[in-house]
Amino acid sequence: MRISKKSYLLVVLLSSIIGLSGCEKEVSKKEELKNTVSSIKINQENAKAIKIENTEITNVSNLDQNSTVTKIENKENFYISNIWVGYEEVDKNGNVISNSQTFLDLTLLPGDLSAVSFPHKEYANSIKIVSYGYETEGTGVVVNLKKDSVKIKENIAKVENSKSYEVLALSEIYKENETEDASTYMVKIKNSSEKDLGNISLKIGELKRDGEYITVNHLPAYNVLKPEEEIEMEVAVSSNADKLKILGYSYDDVKEKATIDIDLKSHRVKINK
């Protein structure tokens, strides 16, 4: 059967569109973030950025572990980082026996979901989430759910784009071995700078199939990596994870005597000297 050039081009074009559709979703998310992040103005309307699945969790004393979990979601159009959640531990008589905070070692982009764990005492009967806080582009936000109030503080930290500091070339994470309890993955890391880099550590997120983050691990990779040197790093993963994502990395700039901490989600950097 003869196929015309026009039909062939149409098939190729359709194949390209189908193949790229998954990538475009992620790219468009990053482009939207890039376009909005520079014009972020936090106010009373958009400051309540976190949607919480359950603000009260009951009967926690019946659980096998002294910790309970709920989900949170970034429902706004800007990234949020340095997230913490404040909660009360309440006994069976309704008395508050402890006020605690739990911290999320993860930046959430718009629409991102994450599980959050709340450690509690054995005799706690319920958990009540009463507040949360986060930072975005140097602005700090505290939301008090009990008082339905918001505090906004600008210029609490210097924010810098990480592009010029992103000197590690990272491969895709690939599977090396699999057992009942865990799977072993590998990733290649190359120093693309002209400097010696020490104390390299990767920040790896484990996700469910629907994209919910379930845990974050910091994995030390190597003591010193010379310019253009490449290594392979082993990544052990729990059996609960369906996906892996490199969220960021840190390294010591030996020449500048500084620790560089890069967040690959927001593309922001912290420099500690």
Q: What pLDDT score does 256 carry? A: 87
Q: Give Cα 43 distance to the centre of its chain.
A: 24
Q: What is the pLDDT of residues 86-120, one digit of tens each?
A: 999 999 999 999 999 999 999 999 999 999 999 99
**Tokens representing residue 115 in the block:** 């599980």
Q: Is 56 exposed, middle or buried (0-12, 13-18, 19+ CB in 10 A)?
A: middle
The CATH-assigned architecture of domain 160-272 is Sandwich (2.60)
Give pLDDT tens digits for 228-255.
999 999 988 877 888 999 999 999 998 8
Q: Which CATH number fits domain 50-153: 2.60.40, 2.60.120, 1.10.10, 1.10.150?
A: 2.60.40
pLDDT at 270 over 80: yes
Q: How confident is the model at residue 66 (pLDDT cuts 50, 70, 90)?
A: confident
Residue type, 156: I
Asked if the domains 50-153 and 160-272 are classified in one and the same CATH topology, the answer is yes
For the chain, what are the domain ranges?
A: 50-153, 160-272
Give the whole-angstrom CA distance, residue 273 versus residue 255.
11
- Pick the more confident residue, 121 or 132: 132
Q: Is the predicted pLDDT of residue 215 greater than 50, yes or no?
A: yes
> What pLDDT does residue 33 have?
54
The two tokens of residue 1 are 């059967």
What mean pLDDT, rounded, does the chain reach? 85
DSSP sequence for 145-200:
TTTTEEEEE--SS--EE-GGG--EEEPPPEEEEE-SSEEEEEEEEEE-SSS-EEEE
pLDDT winner (highest mean) among 12-26, 139-153, 179-193 = 139-153
Which residue has better confidence, 21 or 161? 161
